[in-house]
Amino acid sequence: MLETSEDTLDPSDWKAFRLQGHRMLDDMIDYLEHLRDQPVWQPMPEDLRHSFRQTLDDEPSDLETAHELFMKDVLPYALGNVHPGFMGWVHGGGTPVGMLAEMLAGGLNANLGGRDQAPIEIERQVVQWVRELFHFPESAAGLFVTGTSMANLLGVLIARTARLGVDVRQQGLAFGKQQLTAYTSADAHISIVQAMDIAGFGSDALRMIAVDEQRQMDIAALERAVAEDKKAGRTPFFIAATVGSVGVGAIDNLHAIAELCRREHIWFHVDGAYGALAMLAPDLAPRLQGIERADSIAFDFHKWGQVPYDAGFILVRDGELHQNTFASSAAYLKRATCGMAAGSPWPCDFGPDLSRGFRALKTWFTIKVYGAEKLGQVISNTCALAQHMKRRIEAEPRLELLAPVALNIVCFRYRSAEANRVNADLVVALQESGIAAPSTTMLNGQLAIRAAIVNHRTTVSDIDALIDAALALGDRACS
Ligand SMILES: *Cc1c(COP(=O)(O)O)cnc(C)c1O
């Protein structure tokens, strides 16, 4: 147990605490400095798993012991997304600077729901940077949320207010006479489906539009679906375009979707979870043209932006509508023109969370210390690495590319008569090898090895290591 001062939770011996704190900091800096010496991932031993089933009345331990347990039993069995060989799903790598910012935020323990405090000015500074990045007007509002899943839900809710008016907040959807319908591509992230479900429209009200051979939403099919719903008396209200699809990294045709939305008075939402930050890279930003026409953009700083988890964001063109969708009155939320209750509107007026952590600080540090240009270069570099991987696959007769490489995601497989089984096993073997960690996806019934290159630490040698290991393991499985 930590020796504490009187009845508080502060240490009685600050000097000893300081030394221990420095050891903890050193351990994490060592960890990040020497990541490459470790496997990407290793399975957690079963007995270790069971050591985390203690009861609440067990003896507390001192801080040194808890730290040792963390180093020995937790740290080696994390998912490994900080590691340069990690290419599974779409996970960010984090940075040493982000780690330190998290410590500062933890010490400050700011609650960013509202009131007059500098931390909220940091969040407002990031909102301003985001507006600038996406060429949105000063009147646009933005908010940190957990992730894009939450940001997509907020987008649906704000679009609902736009269509039905603020009265929907009291009356609910059941009072509405209109049957509202939404649209996204068949390759869209499942969180769009969940958002329609949670918002009360039901996932059946979401049309999953077919994709073309580039795996972009088929615009003709989208227009047909909108026309059919209108003909049947339904009200199309929301289209979610994807910038960087989770399967292959496809970018929907934003101008065409923006045009349709303008013509039909439909809310234009962009799910740019990882892809939207390609705006930071001068060579990629032109591919996102049309994003500046969106009504709302959902994205994550914790993926391509390399900010430690979690740091999702929503940007909304009509800031007033955004506020009207969530703002509430309550005595404890009373505003003032001076004193601590000044500074309205507050972040809590723009989303469902009242108590909110200081996600803005690690984001501010990341942008402040590395600079937007360098962050853009990192993003660009992951796409160049994807092209390198693509070339290696195309040069190798035993491998087959399964999807176009639009950004930083490469889908391929080892050729085999029993390809789905062999490649599923191959991915598990790769993960267990500790050399590289891709994941899988299904493309037209074919199981693909999917490498999403997101981490700023990944280099050409990590790509080559993955391909070489895939070939060796594939040869072994098929010999
Ligand atoms: C990751 C992702 C999401 C979900 O974002 P979270 O931050 O995990 O909630 C949504 N859409 C796409 C395209 C994604 O890649």
pLDDT digit of tens for each residue in the chain (479 aa)?
A: 888 988 999 999 999 999 999 999 999 999 999 999 999 999 999 999 999 999 998 888 999 999 999 999 999 999 999 999 999 999 999 999 999 999 999 999 999 999 999 999 999 999 999 999 999 999 999 999 999 999 999 999 999 999 999 999 999 987 777 899 999 999 999 999 999 999 999 999 999 999 999 999 999 999 999 999 999 999 999 999 999 999 999 999 999 999 999 999 999 999 999 999 999 999 999 999 999 999 999 999 999 999 999 999 999 999 999 999 999 988 788 889 999 999 999 999 999 999 999 999 999 999 999 999 999 999 999 999 999 999 999 999 999 999 999 999 999 999 999 999 999 999 999 999 999 999 999 999 999 999 999 999 999 999 999 999 999 999 998 87
For residues 397 and 414, what is the distance between their CA atoms, to the nearest angstrom?
9
HEC assignment per residue over the chain: CCCECCCCCCECCHHHHHHHHHHHHHHHHHHHHCHHHCCCCCCCCHHHHHCCCCCCCCCCCCHHHHHHHHHHHHHHHCCCCCCCCECCCCCCCCCHHHHHHHHHHHHHCCCCCCCCCHHHHHHHHHHHHHHHHCCCCCCCEEEEECCHHHHHHHHHHHHHHHHHCCCHHHHCHHHCCCCEEEEEECCCCHHHHHHHHHCCCCHHHEEEECECCCCCECHHHHHHHHHHHHHCCCEEEEEEEEECCCCCCCECCHHHHHHHHHHHCCEEEEECCCHHHHHHCCCCHHHHCCHHHCCEEEEECCCCCCCCCCCEEEEECCHHHHHHHHCCCCHHHCCCCCCCCCCCCCHHHHCCCCCCCCHHHHHHHHHHHHCHHHHHHHHHHHHHHHHHHHHHHHCCCCEEECCCCCCCEEEEEECCCCHHHHHHHHHHHHHHHCCCECEEEEECCEEEEEEECCCCCCCHHHHHHHHHHHHHHHHHHHC
User: What span, in angstroms and rounded, lies between the C-alpha atoms of 351 and 142?
Assistant: 10
Close Cβ partners of 196 (under 8 Å, ≥ 6 residues apart): 156, 182, 202, 203, 205, 206
Whole-number Å distance, alpha carbon 151 to ligand 1 midpoint, is: 9
Instruction: Write the CA distances from 254 to 125, 209, 220, 289, 290, integer angstroms.
Output: 27, 15, 14, 7, 5
Ligand 1 centre and the CA of 218: distance in Å?
A: 21
Both tokens of 258, joined, read: 């923006």
From the CA of 147, give the closest atom in ligand 1: 7
Calpha distance 257→414 (Å, rounded): 36
Starting at the edge strand found earlier in the chain, the sheet holding 296-300 runs 141-145, 312-316, 296-300, 267-271, 235-242, 180-185, 206-209
Assess whether the C-beta atom of 243 lies below 6 angstroms from ligand 1: no
CB 225 within 8 A of CB 215: no
Residue 231: CB partners within 8 Å, gap ≥ 6? Answer: none
- Non-local CB neighbours of 351 within 8 Å, separated by 6+ positions: 143, 145, 154, 314, 326
CA of 189 to the centre of ligand 1 (A): 7
With a 6 Å cutoff on the Cβ, whether 271 touches ligand 1 is: yes
Q: Could you tell me the two tokens for 311? A: 């740091």
Residue 285 confidence (pLDDT): 98
Ligand 1: does its nearest atom lie under 6 Å from the Cβ of 187? no
Q: Are 225 and 183 in contact (CB under 8 A)?
A: yes
Q: Is 281 in the pocket of ligand 1 (CB under 6 A)?
A: no
Closest ligand 1 atom, CA of 310? 7
Amino acid at 67: H
**Alpha carbon of 369 to ligand 1 centroid (Å):** 26
Point out the ligand 1 atom lying closest to the alpha carbon of residue 302.
Answer: 7
Q: Please provide residue 239's backbone torsions phi and psi, each rounded to the nearest 5 degrees.
A: -125, 125
Length of the chain: 479
What's this model's pTM, rounded to 2 decimal places?
A: 0.97
What's the gap in Å between 413 CA and the centre of ligand 1? 24
Taking the C-alpha atoms of residue 58 and residue 315, their distance in angstroms, rounded to an integer, is 46
- Mutation to probe ligand 1, out of 191, 310, 439 (largest number of atoms < 8 A from CB): 191
Which of 300, 310, 439, 450, when mutated, tests ligand 1's pocket best, judged by the most ligand atoms within 8 Å of its CB?
A: 300
Please say whether the beta carbons of 450 and 423 come within 8 A: no
- Distance between CA atoms of residues 292 and 285, nearest Å: 11
Q: What is the pLDDT of residue 478?
A: 82
Which amino acid, one-letter code, is at 21? G
Ligand 1 pocket: which of 144, 148, 190 to mutate (most atoms within 8 A of CB): 148
Alpha-carbon span 359 to 112, nearest angstrom = 9
* 242 ligand 1 Cβ < 6 A: yes
CA 188 to centroid of ligand 1, rounded, Å: 10
Mutate to test the pocket of ligand 1, among 91, 194, 242, 271 (most ligand atoms within 8 A of CB): 271
| Ligand 1, atom nearest to 151 Cα | 9
Q: Classify strands 180-185 and 235-242 as parallel, antiparallel or unpaired.
A: parallel
Task: Tell me the CA–centroid distance for residue 397 and ligand 1, in Å.
Answer: 34
Atom of ligand 1 nearest to the CA of 245: 13
Mutate to test the pocket of ligand 1, among 189, 216, 242, 291 (most ligand atoms within 8 A of CB): 189
The reported pLDDT for the residue numbered 59 is: 86
CB of 300 shorter than 6 A to ligand 1: yes
- Distance separating alpha carbons of residues 316 and 299, to the nearest angstrom: 12
pLDDT of residue 333: 83
The answer, yes or no, to whether any atom of ligand 1 lies below 6 A from the CB of 250, is no
Distance 195 CA to ligand 1 centre (A): 12
The residue type found at 281 is A
CA of 440 from ligand 1 middle (Å) equals 16
